[in-house]
Amino acid sequence: MGESDERLWAEGLKLLRTLADAGHEAYMVGGSVRDRLIGRPLHDIDIATSALPEAVQALFPRTLPTGLQHGTVTVIVDGDPFEVTTYRTESGYSDSRRPDEVAFVTDVREDLSRRDFTFNAMAVGLDGALLDPFGGREDLSAGIVRTVGRAADRFGEDALRMLRAIRFGAEFGFELASDTWEGIATHKQRLSHVAMERVGAEWDKMIAGQGPDQACAWLQHSGLLVHLKERLPSLTAARIDGWGLANARAIRLAAIDGIDVRWAAYWIGVGASEADALSACKTLRMSGKRSARIAAAVGFERRLADGRTGGPALLEGCDQRNWIEAVLDYGVPAAEDWLAIEVSVRGFEGLAERDWLAAMPITRVGQLAVRGDELSKLLGRSPGPWVARLLRALLSEVAHGKLPNEKADLTLAARNWITRMLPPEMGK
């Protein structure tokens, strides 16, 4: 464990001491206990206590009432937030996500019994002893994702737990217990009750995590993706199951740095178009900036593939002219993302396309030595759509090394282009 982890754990113990000195039981619970046992970094610490919310607020100078109706108070210690929640039970999940009723209880074991997975239902008290009523430590050692009680009951209460099961299994390199997998098969239709923001957040964590390939395989094979609240545009069940296609098998998400580049690789792998990818990202509630970046890399690959007759460019390479035109159409960032994906496919970095990109004298219209308004004046023509077409043509010539990026040369080429492409009366 790192120094920051030990500091955070020590601060958690101080909170337990403050609660104990006031006559309350308290334990560190959930993910922090699990992660400490398996040597993973601690991101935050949750505390369960017999103290009611108002008692917690009275004991600590800096608190936030983040979820009083559910018994949760956030305590701030040296800038670190600790969620302190009163022991509780939950019942009545009519929306397949949140409990209809929360009841405060006095026994920590009752509180632990409402949690999702055995390794998230452990607690550590002030004495450092592990409270593990459901065999979480044993499941951690065995590498198994197992629910607290029957999986069908846990997933029937909260359908998002099915995605969490897959995320934890993929992240830790664990297996899903047979009951866990059967529970997903039984309740996968209930995922349609879960908001797309929550689905997107869980899937995003999977893609960013240690086992994105396994996570996506489980998502597809489970059938969960065809039971979302909102359909992923243009991706039928058959196409989603198509992660076994040749280009998808070649793409190793875990070998790619950057979550958005991994997303682009995923959509390329399932055969999505640029429009499919953009719409799907928006459906999963990604930001416009992220959606545009992901879709651009997908579009870049499709642009290259459209210039071939033999198959996907990622698998079979592309010619230099087609590559340069794709860079001009989609920009250098999309080209660099595509290259990152290609490295994962081909397994090396000495790519001809990387050299082509480095050798391009310019990559965008703004780098031309002449502006559109200057061309209008020099050619004696009124501005219009022809200007954009002309600039793009000049950009292509310069990028391919056929024309120097000098104002005089560009102007002469523009005059020749105008003579060939536009009738004399247009633009006057």
Confidence check: pLDDT of 237 > 50: no
Confidence check: pLDDT of 306 > 90: no
Would you give the distance in Å from CA 416 to the centre of its chain? Answer: 49
pLDDT value at residue 426: 47
Q: How far apart are alpha carbons 393 and 414 in whole angstroms?
A: 9
Give the number of other CB atoms < 10 A from CB of residue 71: 21
Residue given tokens 């997908």 in the structure block: 298
Structure token digits, residue 374: 């200057």
234: left (phi > 0), else alpha (psi -120 to 50), else beta?
A: left
Percent of the chain whose pLDDT exceeds 70:
88
Q: HSE on the CB side for 159, CA within 13 Å?
A: 23
3-state secondary structure at position 283? helix
Confidence check: pLDDT of 99 > 70: no
Residues in the chain: 428
Mean pLDDT along residues 410-427: 75
Q: Do 72 and 64 touch, CB atoms closer than 8 A?
A: no
pLDDT (tens digit, 9 = 90+) per residue, 166-219? 999 999 999 999 999 999 999 999 999 999 999 999 999 999 999 999 999 999
Q: How far apart are alpha carbons 109 and 132 in whole angstroms?
A: 9
Return the CATH superfamily for domain 1-135.
Answer: Beta Polymerase, domain 2 (3.30.460.10)
Which CATH class, in words, describes the domain spanning 365-421? mainly alpha
Mean pLDDT along residues 117-137: 96
Strands 80-86 and 88-91: unpaired
Confidence check: pLDDT of 428 > 70: no
Write the single-letter amino acid at 93.
Y
Topology classification of domain 143-230 = Hydrophobic Seed Protein (1.10.110)
pLDDT value at residue 315: 56
Q: How far apart are alpha carbons 201 and 152 in whole angstroms?
A: 23
Structure token digits, residue 225: 């993706």
Mean pLDDT along residues 85-96: 75
pLDDT value at residue 417: 86
pLDDT value at residue 23: 96
pLDDT value at residue 239: 53
